[in-house]
Structure 1
Amino acid sequence: MRLSFVAAALALSSVGGLVHAQAATYAMDPTHTFVTFEIGHFGTSTNRGRFDKKEGTVQLDRAGKSGKVDLTIDATSINTGTDGFNKHLQSADFFDVAKYPTIKFVADKFSFNGDKVTEVAGQLTLLGKTNPVILKASNFNCYINPMLKRETCGGDFEATIQRTQWGMGWGMNFGFPDAVKLIVQVEAIKQ
């Protein structure tokens, strides 16, 4: 009886090892990965910006329906297309880049529909505070990159956050909204 229990335990651990062996690591391609944001401007138009410098990795196991993300964003690289606006966003009123030069998103909860990722749940660290964020996929695909001859996976992900959760409240008293839409376009190359 004891021998069959040990054999069953070994069989289960080897199956677990096979599933784990299917996980692959992907490096984010900085030329096809962008983190952008949108916030309303007095109910009239939408202010948009992006972070030009970012890096990270994704671990993805489509068969095991699991994954991990580790994304680091250089907050000093914020780019709205207007130097004065960039400087204001870099100031202590908003991103306080002198004190908090990086933004971090770390996730380990992936949801799937078949082998397609539908959402990624993780933690966003901004201004020294960490709160949960769920990025929902509007697109997801994996393909063999014809130039690199390697598998590339990625998609378009979105979330709406309340910026005051991270202590970013400038402008709330005169009409800037709390809600900010985050858009993460990512492609990552299998290593």
Structure 2
Amino acid sequence: MKKIALALALATAFSAHAVEYTQVQPEKSAINFIYKQMGVAVDGKFKRFASQLNFDPAKPAAAKATFDVELASVDTGAPEGDDEVAGKPWFNTKAFPTARFVSGSVKPLGGNRYEVAGQLSIKGKTQDVVVPATFTAQGKTGVFDGAFTIRRADFSIGEGTWAKFDIVANDVQIKFHITASAK
């Protein structure tokens, strides 16, 4: 009986100290991408996004995340590149202003590693994706890091003469660093 009481006391104490991370800190977060243009790796980023996050490391299966990335906030490193990528052949931001990721499930892999399955929507096309991520707690702040690859053709990113992959590769790596605070 003492063992059961001790186990219940420890479980209660642990759950009383459980932390749920819900407030993404955009100024400490980043959504970047890497692609190859004529065989050379090129980096870019998105400067604005909105998110909803609920993550309790003690209950990862109950986690939820939604990210809406403002595609016109693309930063390719050159203003003319930003204008080109925001245009109709690429992101067509007038018709499709945001890309959206919505998580469906979170699978703990051990340690601080997780697999987040969800749906990614860009330019009216939706694909299932699995996103490997790590989570590191730093007191009342948590940091999520990860990367995954999409194929731009799956989302019609680069239409017309840009639909070929001879100049701009089909694979685009998305990298993220998300800092969130606990409520």
> Into which bin does the TM-score normalised by the smaller protein fall?
0.7 to 0.9
- For the pair 1:104 / 2:100, whether they are aligned, the reply is yes
Q: Give secondary structure in 2 for the equivalent of 1:98.
A: coil
SS in 1 for 2:115: strand
Distance 2:104 2:142 in 1: 17
* Structure 2 residue 180 is matched with structure 1 residue 188: yes
Shift of 1:114: 4.1
Q: Kindly, what percent of the aligned residue pairs are identical? A: 23
For 2:59, the aligned partner's letter is G
For structure 2, which runs of at least 5 residues remain unmatched after alignment?
Answer: 1-14
Q: Equivalent residue for 2:153?
A: 164
The TM-score with structure 2 as length reference comes to: 0.82
> Where does residue 92 of structure 1 map in the other structure?
88
Deviation of 1:174 (Å): 5.7
Matched residue of 1:31: which SS? helix
Amino acid in structure 1 at the alignment position of 2:114: T
Matches within 5 A, 1:37-56: 37-43=33-39, 45-56=40-51
RMSD of equivalent CA atoms: 2.3
Alpha-carbon distance between aligned partners in 2 of 1:174 and 1:70, rounded to the nearest angstrom: 30
TM-score (normalizing by structure 1): 0.78
Which contiguous aligned blocks of 4+ residues in structure 1 show a shift greater than 3 angstroms?
none
Provide the rounded CA distance (Å) in 2 between the counterparts of 1:34 and 1:117: 19
Classify 1:155/1:122 alpha carbon distance in 2 versus 1 (closer, same or farther; 3 Å): same
How many residue pairs match? The answer is 166
Asked if structure 2 preserves the Cα contact closer than 8 Å seen for 1:65 and 1:115, the reply is no
Q: Indicate whether 1:82 and 2:78 are aligned.
A: yes
